[in-house]
Amino acid sequence: MSVPLFDTSSALAPLREELRAAIAKVLDSERYILGPEVEAFEREFAAYCGAKQAVGVANGTEAITIALRALGVGPGDEVVVPSFTFYASAEAIPPTGATPVFCDIDPATYCVTAETVKAALTPRTKAVIAVHLFGNVAPVAEIEALGVPVLEDAAQAAGSQSATGRPGALGKVATFSFFPSKNLGCFGDGGMITTSDAELAERVRVLRFHGSHDKVSYEQVGYNSRLDELQAAVLRVQLPHLDAWAQGRRAAGEHYIGAGLGEVDGVALPTPSAAAAPAWHLYVIARTDAGHLEAALNAAGIGCRGYYRTPVHRQQAMRAWGEGVELPATEEAAARHLAIPMSPVLSAAQAQEVTAAIAAVT
């Protein structure tokens, strides 16, 4: 049995007619930019997260840049960010004029901690980007206790939960990506910024719209970064199903445990953060021979991938800021991690197939 790394179609299959109707409604309205679908989705998504405000933007990367700008981040400032993450988490910082400062992670949860962030703080630190990596939940409150605003990069964590709330309402501001493979994905690019600070939300709205309230008077050099009506309509259809899909992802993780994956020699399973219920975007195991295991599983028809083999601080474009930085847990995670099949509909039989394939690789 082959098992794909992602299954993005099965969960959407029952919604196809509703999705077609939503798209047709937008076509009939001839409203495509910042119309009623975006406004409704912003309200619904804010309520889902537990935030007071949500502002739709063009994608998850610009969401981070705009959110940082709204926080007042600019030239001369520093922003602490993990290096074991998707490149965009750090890429979004330099366009503000600020400097990325890389911090390490907890090797068990793959998330930053108050301790790893504290080691990177300086008097110039203006914000911390806490990435809820792979759907796990970073300890935002503990990091905020250090006295620096926290931006949650929740691109991979829609549907996850913690003891104190959902990603999107844990820090000063949060950003989401709705890239098609995400836990909540649209049919193109899309992003969102959530916050409970009304003034910050208004700054975000101005920045996403060319730095203007009315497209006549321009207060700032802003962005043309808006979630469009078609994508908002698609996301509105899916949002009511997000919790069920999130539970499906958690159940898939339990299927792997039940199949004995954690008992396979040399395999370390992902560890949920304290009091967190991750909606696993990626299910990432660790093994010393991750590269060899990846090749063998792909040859056997088991989808898998090493995502961040070269940490961000060692990427060529980040060389100016990464030179001399030593992050041992990041380097270990980069070498040993491997994402294996995960979806809301991954079955116990599929988990057993994947586990058997992993156990067979020596």
The residue range of the domain holding 220 is 13-240
Q: Which residues of 202-221 are buried (b: 16+ CB within 10 A; e: fewer)?
A: ebbbbbbbbebeeeeeeeee
**269 in a structural domain:** yes
Q: What is the DSSP letter of 151?
A: E
Q: How many independent structural domains does the chain possess?
A: 2
Give the residue from 240, 269, 286 where a domain finishes: 240
**184 in a structural domain:** yes
Joined tokens for residue 174? 């949060």
From residue 78, alpha-carbon distances to 32, 37, 308, 321, 359 in Å are: 37, 36, 23, 11, 45
Claim to verify: residue 266 and residue 153 sit in the same structural domain: no
Claim to verify: residue 265 and residue 215 sit in the same structural domain: no
Give the count of alpha carbons within 13 A of 76, CB side only: 2
Claim to verify: residue 246 and residue 197 sit in the same structural domain: no
| Segment (H or E) for 79 | strand 78-82
Claim to verify: residue 186 and residue 289 sit in the same structural domain: no
Residue with tokens 């497209």: 215
Q: Are 152 and 172 in contact (CB under 8 A)?
A: no
**pLDDT confidence of residue 187:** 97
Burial status of residue 333 (CB atoms within 10 A of its CB: 0-12, 13-18, 19 or more):
buried
**3 in a structural domain:** no
pTM: 0.96
CA distance 90 to 80: 9
Query: Mean pLDDT of successive 10-residue segments in the chain (362 residues)?
Result: 92 97 97 96 98 98 98 98 98 98 97 98 98 98 97 98 96 97 97 98 97 92 96 98 98 98 96 96 97 97 97 97 97 98 97 97 86
From residue 131, alpha-carbon distances to 104, 233, 335 in Å are: 12, 27, 19
Claim to verify: residue 214 and residue 264 sit in the same structural domain: no
**272 in a structural domain:** yes
**pLDDT confidence of residue 134:** 98
CA distance 263 to 250: 19
Give the residue from 215, 240, 265 where a domain finishes: 240
Q: Are 306 and 290 in contact (CB under 8 A)?
A: yes
Claim to verify: residue 45 and residue 164 sit in the same structural domain: yes
**190 in a structural domain:** yes
**pLDDT confidence of residue 362:** 78
Claim to verify: residue 229 and residue 130 sit in the same structural domain: yes
Q: Which residues of 9-19 are buried (b: 16+ CB within 10 A; e: fewer)?
A: eebbeeeeeeb
**203 in a structural domain:** yes
Q: Are 111 and 131 in contact (CB under 8 A)?
A: yes
Q: Where are the alpha helices (DSSP H) in 178-289?
A: 198-208, 229-238, 242-258
Q: Report the CATH number at residue 99.
A: 3.40.640.10
Claim to verify: residue 210 and residue 348 sit in the same structural domain: no
**158 in a structural domain:** yes
Give the residue from 217, 240, 263 where a domain finishes: 240
Claim to verify: residue 266 and residue 230 sit in the same structural domain: no
Claim to verify: residue 220 and residue 120 sit in the same structural domain: yes
Claim to verify: residue 202 and residue 265 sit in the same structural domain: no
Q: What is the DSSP string of 108-126?
A: TT-S--HHHHHTT--TTEE
Claim to verify: residue 84 and residue 223 sit in the same structural domain: yes
**125 in a structural domain:** yes
| Segment (H or E) for 49 | helix 36-49
Residues 6+ apart with CB under 8 A from 243: 159
CA distance 50 to 31: 28
Residue with tokens 């920045």: 207
Q: Report the CATH number at residue 354.
A: 3.90.1150.10
**pLDDT confidence of residue 1:** 77
- Would you put residue 284 in left (φ > 0), alpha (ψ -120 to 50) or beta? beta
